[in-house]
Every structure is written in C-alpha cells, then in structure tokens.
Structure 1
C-alpha cells in the first residue's frame, strides 16, 4: 500500500513541478518529465504498477489523438501540387538515407522505419515560441504529411511484429486497407452532410456550449476509433490519430477546441506516459558499453539526413530557414519513443538499442531546441544589421 502511495505522490509532484524546471532551464517539459521519471524510479519512488501502465498507455493514445488535431485534412488536401511533389521527394530522401545508414552500421531492419519518423508534436510547441514564420508553416505542412506516413508505417510495423510475416500479416494489411476505404467513404459522407446541412455541425458542437458537448463528442470519436482498431487487431495509435483529424477537419468553427483538448492532455494524461517511459529507462544503463556512442550516432544520423533532405525546399526558403525547418523535423520524440517501445516489447530490438533510442530522443529534444534558438537569434541579428 505504501508503495502505491509513494507512486501516486511522486507522479503528482513531477506533473506539478516539471513545467517550473523546464521554464528555469529553458527546455521543453517533455524531456524533463522523462528525466524525472528515470531519476525517481532509480531512487525507488516509482515502480511498475498495473494502473500506472494502463494510464500511461491511455496517455500515449491521447497524445496520438492530439497529434491528429494538428492536421486539417481539407487544408492538407489543398496543398499545391508542386509543394506536394517536393514533400514526396523530401520523404523519399529520408527513407533512402535511413536504409543506407541502417545497412552500413548494421543497425537492423527496424531502424529503416524508425529513423525517418516525423512528428508534429514538438513542432507545435515551436510555433508557440516563434510564431507563424514561413519555415514553421512549411514545417507543419510537410510534417503533417510526414506524420501520416509515419503513423502508417507504425501500424504496419506493429502488425508485422505481432503476427510475423505470413498469412496473418496479409490479413492485417487487408483489414487496414478495408478500414481506410471505410474511413475515406465516411469522411466524404460527413463532408457532404455538413456541406448540405451546415447546421448539423453547430448542433453537434454549438458555439455557446455549457454542457461541454464538444469535449463529449471528441472523446466519443476517440474511443470509438480506438475500439475499432482493437476489434481489427491493428495499432490503436492509428485509430487515435484518425480521431484527432476529425476535429479540425469537420468542426472548423470550434477553433479553440484542439487547444482545449491539448490543455487537458498535457496537463494530466500525457505527462504520465512520459514519466512511465522515464521510469522504464534504468540509469544504470548509461554505463552500458557503447550506449552513449550509439545514442549520439542515432541523433547525428537522424539530424543530418533531415538537414540534407530539407535542401529540397531551399528555393522556397532561404538557407537559414531551410536549416531551421530541417532541425524542426529532427525531434520526433513521441513517435520515436512509441515505436522503440513497441519494437522492444515485441523483441524486435535489443535492450541496448531500446535505451539508445530513448536517450537519442532526449538528446534530440534538448540539443535541437537549443540549436534552433541559437540559429533564430543569429537570423534576427542579421536582419537587424542589414
């Protein structure tokens, strides 16, 4: 009983004080939560408990849901064809680099999928700090498409890990294809319904809402699609991600809703997921032979390939903004941790590779944030002096 009291108290204190530490040392809150989780687990205040694990898994699904709310499907589909072509080239370069690096350093097949991952989670936090700059706008557009591709690979990788290569995998892919077809038809049907009867959208989510109908409907969509993934034996994160896309795509009049949903998630469920990840990273692992070297190699390789690939956009952005965009995609913290955890639990990667990926995600979140700040400050100085 006392262990559980210590667990609940520690989690509560980390959630409360992490933002203060993050503000003091000028870093994102997420790596602070992971580090605190690891430190307090080492000290014995955090331990593996069934409820802790369940809430952490729910926090991860909610994180994927919030990631989906960053993507307005209507706006994404209206992206100019020339820009779409460049984004496709950008992604192809990333995956080509990933395959080459994974083979050269003998990292394993799973790294071919892990290294090109893109997540808009931390990009969204950058936009709060730097505003709607051209490089961030392009970063969000390319990131949204890249994240959809990444979530697709996450789903297929999850199916491969769970079922292996064989008939069961083909069955999973077939189920996924049918589900995507159903979702496409559903999206089109809802789009037509709201176009013919715009009052339906405001009835479901009224402007003046004293019964929190917007939150209720959002949570309903979230759990329905997660339940559908559970029934189809597909990656639950994919359902959560699609549920998030529903919100900005069909309820554009509720512009404050994504932020409202994010406030709840980042204030409660999502920190528990990151604290749990931290608690699974044993500090003794830092002394494992070659761990830090491997983590630094992964960090450098993932950053380098994005910087090279981002040169595709150099005509749309100047060199400095192109580099900023490349760096902004070099922090796929949430998806990298999720995929690493999935691969480790499925015994597709070794313990040292799992720890290296967790450590690399922390290095990325910390160092890249500092680098972006330094480059942006340099850019501002250059503009002022010219």
Structure 2
C-alpha cells in the first residue's frame, strides 16, 4: 500500500514540477521527465506495477495519435512534385548513410532502421519558439513525410521481430497491405463524402460544441483503429498514428482541436510514458565502460547524416534553411525511444545498446536545441550588422 502511494505521489510531483525546471533550464519538458523518472526509479520511489505499465503504454499510443494530428493528408498530397522528389532524395540519402554506417561497423540490421528515424514532435516545439520560419515550414513538410515512412517501418520491423522470416511474417505483411488498401479506400470515400456534403463534418464536430463531441469522436476513432490493429496483430502505434491523421484531414474547420488533444496528452498521459521510460534506465549503467562514448557516437552520427542529407535543399532554400532543417530532424526522441524499446524487448539489441540509444536521444535534444539557439542568435546578429 505504501509503495503504491509513493508511486502515485512521485509521478504526480514529476508531472507538476517538470515544466518549471524546463523553463529554468530552457529545455523541452520531455527529456527532464525521463531524467526525473530515472532518478526516482534509482532511489526506489518508482517501481513497476501493472497499472503504471498500462498507462505508460496508453501514453505512448496517445503520443503516436498526437503525432498523426500534425499531418494534414490533403496538404501533404498538395505538396509540389518537385519538393516531394527532393524530400524523397533526402530520405534516400538518410537511409543510405545509415546502411553504409551499419555495414561498415558490423552493426545489427536494426541499426539501419533506428538511425534515420524522423519525428516532428519536437519540430512543433521549435515552431512555438521560433515562429513560422521558412526552415520550420520545410522541416514540418519533409518531417511529415519522413515520419510516415518511419512509422511504416516501425510496423514492418515490429512484425519482423515478432514473427521472424516465416509464414507468420508473410501473413502479417498481407494483413498490413490489405489494411492500408482499406484505409486508402476509406480516406478517399470520406474525402468525397465531405466534399459533396460538407455539413456532415460540421454535424459530427459542430462549431458550437457544449457536449465535447469533437473530443468524443477523436477518441472514438483512436480506440477503433487501435482495436483493429490489435485484432490484426499489427503494431498498435501505426493504428494510433493513422487515427490522428483523420483529425486535421477531414475536420479542418476544427483547427483548434489538435492543440486541445495535445494539451490533454502532454498534460497527463504522455509524461507518464516518458517517466516510465526513465524508470527503466538504471543510473548505474552510466558506469558501464564505453556506454557514454557509444551514446555520443550515435548522437553525432545521427546529427551528421541529417546535416549531409539536408544539403539537397540548398539550391531551393539556401544553406541556412537547409542546415537548420537538418538539425531540427536530429531529435527523433519519441520514435527513437519507442523503436529502441521495441528492439530491446524483442532481443534484437542488448541492454547496453538500449541504454546507449536512450542516452543518445537525450544528448540529441540538449545538443541540437543549443546549436539551433546559437545559430539563430549568430544569424540575427549578422543580419543586424
């Protein structure tokens, strides 16, 4: 009983006070939640209970749902073909660097998928600080397409890790392809329905909503797609991500809804996921010979390969925007942790590399945020001069 009380109180204190420390240290709240989770787990205030594990898992799925709400499929499909080709070249270079690095250093195949991951979660945080700049607009567009690719690979890797190379994997891939074809048909059907009858979307999510229908419908879509993925025995995160895409794509008249959903998630469920991740990181691991060095190598490799790949945008956007865009993609915190956890649970990477990826994800956020801030100050001073 006392342990349960300590668990609840500790989680509550971390959730309440993390934003204050983030403001003082001028860092995103997420890495601090992981650090505090690790510290409290180390001293014994956090321990693994079923309810803690379940809420953390739900927090992760909700995080993927929020990631989906940052992608308006209509806008993505309207991206100029020339830009789409450049973005695809950027992604191709990223994965080429990753494959080359993994093969050269004889790393496992999972590294080829982990190193090029892209997540726009912290790009959205940058937009709050720096506003609607050219490089952030480019970052969100390229990052949205990159995140779709990353989530799709997350699903494929999850199936491969669970079923191996046998008939189980073939069935899983067949189920995934059929599901995607159905989703494509559903998206197209809804697009036509709402185009012919726009009043339907307003009826589902009215402007003057005193019954919170928008939240209810959003959560309904979220749970339905998670349930479908559970039935198909596929990666639940992919279903949550697709559910999120529904919101901005078909209910653009509720432009405040993604922010409302994000406020709930980042105020309650998502912090618990990151606190849980922190609690799985044993601080004694910092004493393991070579761990910090390995984490730093992963950090610098992931940053450099994005900077080199981002140079494909120089001709259209210039050197400054290209470099800042590449840096903004160098913090795939949420997906990197999720994929590393998935790989570790499937025994695809050992505990040493799991800890290295957790540390690297923290190093990336701190280092990249600092570099972007310094570059912006330097460039402003240069323009003023």
Q: TM-score range by the shorter chain?
A: over 0.9
Distance (whole Å) between structure 1 residues aligned to residue 380 and residue 182 of structure 2: 48
The CA deviation at 1:53 is 0.4
Partner of 2:271: 271
The CA deviation at 1:315 is 1.4
Distance (whole Å) between structure 2 residues aligned to residue 52 and residue 320 of structure 1: 44
Distance (whole Å) between structure 2 residues aligned to residue 49 and residue 8 of structure 1: 11
Distance (whole Å) between structure 2 residues aligned to residue 15 and residue 323 of structure 1: 34
Distance (whole Å) between structure 1 residues aligned to residue 232 and residue 183 of structure 2: 14
Partner of 1:5: 5
Distance (whole Å) between structure 2 residues aligned to residue 13 and residue 147 of structure 1: 32
| 1:280 pairs with 2:280 | yes
Partner of 1:184: 184
Map 1:70-85 → 2, pairs under 5 A: 70-85=70-85
Note the residue ranges of structure 1 that are not aligned, 5 or more in a row.
Answer: none
The CA deviation at 1:289 is 1.2
What do the CA deviations read for 1:90-148 (whole angstroms, capped 9, x no partner)? 00000000001111122211000000000000000000000010000000000000000
What do the CA deviations read for 1:74-93 (whole angstroms, capped 9, x no partner)? 00000000000000100000
Secondary structure in 2 matching 1:315: helix
Distance (whole Å) between structure 1 residues aligned to residue 16 and residue 107 of structure 2: 38
Secondary structure in 2 matching 1:207: coil
Map 1:93-242 → 2, pairs under 5 A: 93-242=93-242
The CA deviation at 1:322 is 1.2
TM-score by length of 2: 0.99
Q: Between Structure 1 and Structure 2, how many residues are aligned?
A: 385
The CA deviation at 1:341 is 0.3
Higher alpha-carbon deviation: 97-106 or 119-128: 97-106
Distance (whole Å) between structure 2 residues aligned to residue 7 and residue 271 of structure 1: 14
Secondary structure in 2 matching 1:314: helix
| 1:259 pairs with 2:259 | yes
Partner of 2:69: 69
Partner of 2:299: 299
Note the residue ranges of structure 2 that are not aligned, 5 or more in a row.
Answer: none
| 1:326 pairs with 2:326 | yes
The CA deviation at 1:382 is 1.2
Distance (whole Å) between structure 2 residues aligned to residue 165 and residue 31 of structure 1: 36
Distance (whole Å) between structure 2 residues aligned to residue 107 and residue 297 of structure 1: 13
The CA deviation at 1:34 is 0.2
Partner of 1:371: 371
| 1:349 pairs with 2:349 | yes
Distance (whole Å) between structure 2 residues aligned to residue 102 and residue 242 of structure 1: 30
User: Runs in 1 of length 4+ with deviation above 4 angstroms?
Assistant: none
Secondary structure in 2 matching 1:135: helix
Distance (whole Å) between structure 1 residues aligned to residue 351 and residue 259 of structure 2: 37
Map 1:240-255 → 2, pairs under 5 A: 240-255=240-255
Distance (whole Å) between structure 2 residues aligned to residue 169 and residue 192 of structure 1: 35
Distance (whole Å) between structure 2 residues aligned to residue 22 and residue 264 of structure 1: 19
Partner of 1:312: 312
Distance (whole Å) between structure 1 residues aligned to residue 306 and residue 121 of structure 2: 17
Secondary structure in 2 matching 1:317: helix
